[in-house]
Structure 1
């Protein structure tokens, strides 16, 4: 998790990304674009000091660390559903780890985020 440029926690996703090294920034900008394309109605914010997307509740998060980046999909069943597509990546719990040199393909991100949207919509409908 990175601070904003002034050493304080980032208040926006743009600030979060601006504080990253170029390689991580580029891969996470592509990830951000894929998430936004798959879930255009999702709210983008910083929560727990990392970029977060909400749509009928928590949708996905991403973060940069010293040696890797992570996509947190929030749902074990979704991660398990896409396990075969994630061979070659470290995935456990609800987190997929990847690097700037081996980023997640946009098609996988799209499928995961759309599945999360469907999951959250179904949960919201059940609660209504």
Structure 2
């Protein structure tokens, strides 16, 4: 069922330090607020992914931050400037969230909404292809 918590994602989060757990739980809440139909899964053996008609985002905790991978082909607008990496990547970008760093929840939720809208419109690859054809 879309939107239902995946216990494997719970397990991934539970194994992290408390500050990373807090960040991951907040990101999880925001992606579900962006669209309640988002589903959770595990890909690449243990990495939490949030999907709806394609990948929306994934989480990866590192030693000093949590990466939120955005699977948007660079299409989702970032008016608040929260994207921290992958700006020249053709498939996705990242938002690095640190223990004591700023975290604009509204901006991240809006990016999730844009990625989901693009997924529902056929996905970023399809959108870029149509744009290159002048459609």
TM-score, normalization: structure 2? 0.74
Question: Within 2, Cα distance between the matches of 1:39 and 1:100?
Answer: 26
The answer on 1:77 being equivalent to 2:74 is yes
Look up the match of 1:108. Answer: 107
Look up the match of 1:60. Answer: 57
Question: Within 2, Cα distance between the matches of 1:39 and 1:65?
Answer: 27
How many residues get paired? 112
Once the two structures are superposed, the pairs formed by residues 87-126 of structure 1 within 5 Å of their partners are 90-92=84-86, 93=89, 94-123=93-122
2:58 match: secondary structure: strand
Question: Within 1, Cα distance between the matches of 2:109 and 2:61?
Answer: 20
Structure 1 residues not aligned, in runs of 5+: 1-10
Structure 2 residues not aligned, in runs of 5+: 1-6, 127-135
CA contact (8 A) 2:23 2:97 kept: no
Select 1:29's aligned residue among 19, 25, 28. Answer: 25
Question: Within 2, Cα distance between the matches of 1:31 and 1:103?
Answer: 14
Runs of 4+ in structure 1 off by over 4 angstroms are none
CA contact (8 A) 2:53 2:120 kept: yes
1:104 match: secondary structure: coil
2:103 match: secondary structure: coil
| Structure ranking higher in helix proportion | 1
**Structure 1 residues 91 and 104, CA gap change in structure 2 (3 angstroms):** farther
Report how far residue 103 of structure 1 moved.
Answer: 4.6
